[in-house]
């Protein structure tokens, strides 16, 4: 027999001051103790107003989960009974009949506990969740997470309220296994030939204990259409426990990011059969064949060229299956405050938006929890690369033995879980660790440990100690730096990064969302000290983050209504991100990556850098970014957003092209459109264009005419290729703009 899961129902009690459980309440697993508690005690919706305060502090209790079985498990000869807990948040004891069987710490380490010999029918199976880890003597905030592997975001972040989940965040059940079974998931280890036309490797299987009789291991590797490409049976003799089946696969269908090819996958089916050819254990998984390298951008080896010479910048250009590609995407943060409350459905709706926006990569930011396997399965399927951070973010994680022991276990568990996914193309130690606000360095033991563990367990996937590293840039996080008087567009145009791995432009949520989450009395005007602040419109990072009223006022003058403010804020976000993604792309091949901050959010923020509002409501910026990330588009490098009549308007015209094939020549027309009038600026016969190459075109020189409308447009059109066309909405400087219902590059282009 293969594995037989036995579902468990769970109930929950809070341990009170006397150390005894309080009243039992129903529990939903996967979930969180706070969600169960809130349901049982009718706590108000935390996403409304400042209700979140009613939810705080529950992490300072211990909580007892108790299993309820519908039937007593029965085992036949030799079978083993396991308790499987796929994810615990964060530390627990497992007790059976009051006796502690296991102490456990870590969100990524599954519990696989053989309880056969401890089992007594009727004995209570309990999981005692310990209170959330908080580093001693640290103020409330992320620094409390600096000695644990609990992701720091829930301790309070500029887009996340302080609300620290606890509980069983993944499934918890019993499972009957044969006496001999797979100790860990069988692994297909391979390497590709230099030209990627041959995969060689081995299937690695480790049994929990040596075989006691003659058995057979069977392995079938199938294409998605079911065709078997590898079929191997191996005799397993008594005493064997580590099995290896070598293989060689010619012309493997490669896994590609979706913008470069098909994300082909295979199904690996492994069975262990007894002498009667009955299956005693089985395992099926989708895998993919790909090779990933980080490469130096052209010209980077020639730098630095002056004495005293330092090192050349590290390589940050992804090469997938021998092809250098430009990585376009976003920083994916936790999609929910409670990671146990979301799953495949929620992931899929977000990931489909990312795919439709032409993103080929997501960085799974280290402040958040690495999600369940189904997330990575979806990325495999959709051809979206994953840069996976370890759970370190903006703290000085210590060199101490207890922390390093935790990190060692947690990281090994995460690497083993994710390494089969072809989408996972980068391991990274964590977020902004080499910056002042974290204070870690290359010498930090935590990062040397992570370098070691990834090297030992998954050397075929590159490792970076943190982001940013040398040559990589983070920020800015506003469209206009009011103090410096600089716009993000101009800052990027002066920069020369190998990778832009974080850059933000904040924008408000929709009017509907704001009305849903903010008390009516606080809606207008937005003010700090209200629920606007609870929802990060103010004092999230700088006092005026993320609503950034000052920037809105700078470009448009004071807004008179909520609707006006939202339209303007969302316009700035969309315009900002459009310009930043395109500028990062224009700087290819020195630049090889553009990831905005951030894709999603864990709860409804009143304003945030995210492209979608919680749970999955696109802001206008998403469509603008989707246009900026098209495989091929006409693009303009524009110095600034707001212009005066009489100024020299001088955009540089480019064709941005990330596709794997070349394009023939075509005619480009550039127009200025104002007050309903179209003025031709320049025509250009562009191309032909090589695969994965940009092409710089002419620079427009135009004295701006007097215009009536407060906004004007630059239009770029490609003859025969309407899908390459682009539109930039620009402003007249310092002239208040009347209400425009909906205006964004996306809508203007009608894509």
Write out the residues near a copy of itself by the rule CB under 8 A. 293-294, 296, 301-302, 307-312, 314-315, 434-436, 439, 441-443, 445, 448-449, 451-452, 455-456, 459, 462-464, 466, 468-476, 481, 491-492, 495, 497, 500, 502-503
Cβ closest to a copy of itself, residue 133 vs residue 473: 473
Cβ–Cβ < 8 Å for 486, 479: no
Residue 473: CB minimum distance to a copy of itself, A: 3
Indicate the residue among 205 and 449 with the shorter CB distance to a copy of itself. 449
DSSP string, 383-403: T-EEEEE-S-BSS-----HHH
Give 38 or 464: the residue with its C-beta nearer to a copy of itself: 464
Q: Of 314, 318, 334, 316, which is closest to residue 326 (Cα–Cα)? A: 318
Task: Identify which of 367, 483, 366, 728 has the alpha carbon closest to the alpha carbon of residue 581.
Answer: 728
| Residue whose CB is less far from a copy of itself, 145 or 472 | 472
The answer to whether the beta carbons of residues 570 and 478 sit under 8 Å apart is: no
d(CA 730, CA 641): 5
Which residue number, 309 or 703, has a Cβ lying nearer to a copy of itself? 309
Query: Which of residues 354 and 469 has its CB atom nearest to a copy of itself in the complex?
Result: 469
End-to-end CA distance of the chain: 54
For residue 76, what are the contacts with CB-CB under 8 A and spacing of at least 6? none
In sign, the C-alpha dihedral spanning 52, 531, 161, 365 is positive
At residue 299, φ and ψ (nearest 5 deg) are 85, -15
Q: Please list, in sequence order, all residues whose beta carbon lies within 8 angstroms of the beta carbon of residue 607, skipping any fewer than 6 positions away.
A: 506, 507, 508, 509, 535, 536, 537, 545, 546, 547, 548, 569
**DSSP conformation letters of 503-534:** -B--EEPPHHHHHHHS-GGGSSS--TTSHHHH
Q: How far is the CB of 309 from a copy of itself (least distance, A)?
A: 5
Question: Cα–Cα distance between 269 and 249 in angstroms, integer?
Answer: 16
Of 591 and 744, which has the nearer Cβ to a copy of itself?
A: 591
Nearest to a copy of itself of 338, 503 (CB atom): 503
Q: In residues, how long is the chain?
A: 751
Report in angstroms how near the CB of residue 600 gets to a copy of itself at its nearest.
22
Q: Which is nearer to a copy of itself, 128 or 320 (CB)?
A: 320
Q: How far is the CB of 348 from a copy of itself (least distance, A)?
A: 32
Say how far apart CA 53 and CA 535 lie, in whole Å: 12
Whole-number minimum distance, CB 300 to a copy of itself, in Å? 9
The answer to whether 29 and 172 are in contact (CB under 8 A) is yes
Least distance from a copy of itself to the Cβ atom of residue 175, Å: 35
CB of 310 to a copy of itself, least distance (A): 5
CA 327 – CA 168 distance, rounded (Å) = 35
Give the 3-state secondary structure of residue 735.
coil
Residue from 331, 576, 368 nearest 468 by CA: 331
Nearest to 489 by CA among 262, 317, 652: 652
Shortest distance (Å) from residue 315 CB to a copy of itself: 5
For CA atoms 52, 54, 57, 59, the dihedral sign is negative
Would you tell me how many other CB atoms lie within 10 Å of the CB of residue 734? 12
Report, in Å, the least distance between residue 242 CB and a copy of itself: 19
Least distance from C-beta 383 to a copy of itself, angstroms?
A: 23
Query: In terms of CB distance, is 468 or 526 closer to a copy of itself?
Result: 468
Least separation, in Å, of the C-beta of 443 and a copy of itself? 5
Least spacing, CB of residue 536 vs a copy of itself, in Å = 20
Cβ distance to a copy of itself smaller for residue 23 or 459: 459
Give the shortest CB-692-to-a copy of itself separation in angstroms.
21
Residue closer to a copy of itself (CB basis): 313 or 535:
313
The answer to whether 362 and 331 have CB atoms below 8 angstroms apart is: yes
Nearer to a copy of itself, 172 or 444 (CB): 444
**What DSSP state is assigned to residue 375?**
H
Q: What residues have CB less than 8 Å from 10, skipping those under 6 apart? A: 27, 29, 65, 66, 67, 68, 168, 172
């Amino acid at each position: 027999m293969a594995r037989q899961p036995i579902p468990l129902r769970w109930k929950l009690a809070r341990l009170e001051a006397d150390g005894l459980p309080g009243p039992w309440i129903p529990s939903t697993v996967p979930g969180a103790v706070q969600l169960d508690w809130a349901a049982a005690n009718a706590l108000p919706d935390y996403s409304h107003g400042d209700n979140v305060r009613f939810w705080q502090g529950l992490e300072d209790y211990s909580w007892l989960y108790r299993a309820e079985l519908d039937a007593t498990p029965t085992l036949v000869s030799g079978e083993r009974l396991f308790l499987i807990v796929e994810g615990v948040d964060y530390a627990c004891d497992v007790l059976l009949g009051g006796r502690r069987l296991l102490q456990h710490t870590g969100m990524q380490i599954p519990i696989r506990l053989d309880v056969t010999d401890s089992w007594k029918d009727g004995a209570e199976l309990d999981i005692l969740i310990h209170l959330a880890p908080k580093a001693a003597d640290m103020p409330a905030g992320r620094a409390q997470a600096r000695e644990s592997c609990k992701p720091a975001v829930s301790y309070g972040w500029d887009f996340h309220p302080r609300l620290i989940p606890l509980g069983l965040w993944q499934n918890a059940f019993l499972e009957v296994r044969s006496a001999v079974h797979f100790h860990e998931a069988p692994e297909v280890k391979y390497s590709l030939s230099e030209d990627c036309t041959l995969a060689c490797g081995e299937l690695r299987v480790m049994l929990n204990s040596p075989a006691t009789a003659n058995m057979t291991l069977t392995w079938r590797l199938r294409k998605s259409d079911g065709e078997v490409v590898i079929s191997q049976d191996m005799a397993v003799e008594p005493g064997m426990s580590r099995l290896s089946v070598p293989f060689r696969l010619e012309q493997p269908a490669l896994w590609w990011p979706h913008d470069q090819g098909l994300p082909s996958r295979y199904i690996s089916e492994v069975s262990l059969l007894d002498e009667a050819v009955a299956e005693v254990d089985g395992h099926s998984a989708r895998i993919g064949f790909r090779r990933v390298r980080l490469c130096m951008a052209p010209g980077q080896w020639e730098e630095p060229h002056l004495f005293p010479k330092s090192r050349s910048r590290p390589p940050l250009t992804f090469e997938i299956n021998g092809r250098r590609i430009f990585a376009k995407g976003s920083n994916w943060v936790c999609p929910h405050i409670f990671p146990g409350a979301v799953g495949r459905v929620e992931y899929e709706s977000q990931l489909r938006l990312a795919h439709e926006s032409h993103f080929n990569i997501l960085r799974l930011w280290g402040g958040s929890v690495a999600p369940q396997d189904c997330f990575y399965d979806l990325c495999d399927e959709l051809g979206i690369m994953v840069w996976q951070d370890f759970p370190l973010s903006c703290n000085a994680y210590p060199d101490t033995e207890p922390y390093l022991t935790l990190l060692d276990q947690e990281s090994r568990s995460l690497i083993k879980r994710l390494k089969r996914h072809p989408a996972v193309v980068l391991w990274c130690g964590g977020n902004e660790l080499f910056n002042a606000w974290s204070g870690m360095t290359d010498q930090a033991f935590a990062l040397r440990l992570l370098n070691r563990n990834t090297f030992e367990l998954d050397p075929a996937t590159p490792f970076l100690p943190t982001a940013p590293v040398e040559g990589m840039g983070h920020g800015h996080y506003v469209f206009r730096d009011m103090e410096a008087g600089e716009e993000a567009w101009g800052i990027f145009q002066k920069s020369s990064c190998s990778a832009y791995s974080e850059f933000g432009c904040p924008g408000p949520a929709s009017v509907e969302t704001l009305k849903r989450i903010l008390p009516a009395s606080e809606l207008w005007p937005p003010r700090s000290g209200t629920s606007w602040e609870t929802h990060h419109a103010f004092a999230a990072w700088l006092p005026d983050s993320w609503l950034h009223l000052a920037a809105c006022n700078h470009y448009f003058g004071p807004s008179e209504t909520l609707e006006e403010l939202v339209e303007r804020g969302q316009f700035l976000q969309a315009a900002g991100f459009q310009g930043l993604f395109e500028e990062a792309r224009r700087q290819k091949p020195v630049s090889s990556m553009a990831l905005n901050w951030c894709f999603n959010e864990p709860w409804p923020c009143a304003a945030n850098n995210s492209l979608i509002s919680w749970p999955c409501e696109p802001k206008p910026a998403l469509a603008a970014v989707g246009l900026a990330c098209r495989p091929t588009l006409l693009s303009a490098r524009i110095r600034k957003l707001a212009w005066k009549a009489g100024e020299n308007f001088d955009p540089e015209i480019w064709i941005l092209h990330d596709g794997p094939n070349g394009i023939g020549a075509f005619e480009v027309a550039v127009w200025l459109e104002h007050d309903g009038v179209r003025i031709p600026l320049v025509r250009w016969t562009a191309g032909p264009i090589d695969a994965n190459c940009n092409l710089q075109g002419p620079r427009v020189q135009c004295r701006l005419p007097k215009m009536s409308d407060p906004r004007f447009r630059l239009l770029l059109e490609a003859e025969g290729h309407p899908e390459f066309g682009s539109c930039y909405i620009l402003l007249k400087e310092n002239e208040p703009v009347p209400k425009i219902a909906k205006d964004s590059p996306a809508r203007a282009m009608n894509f």
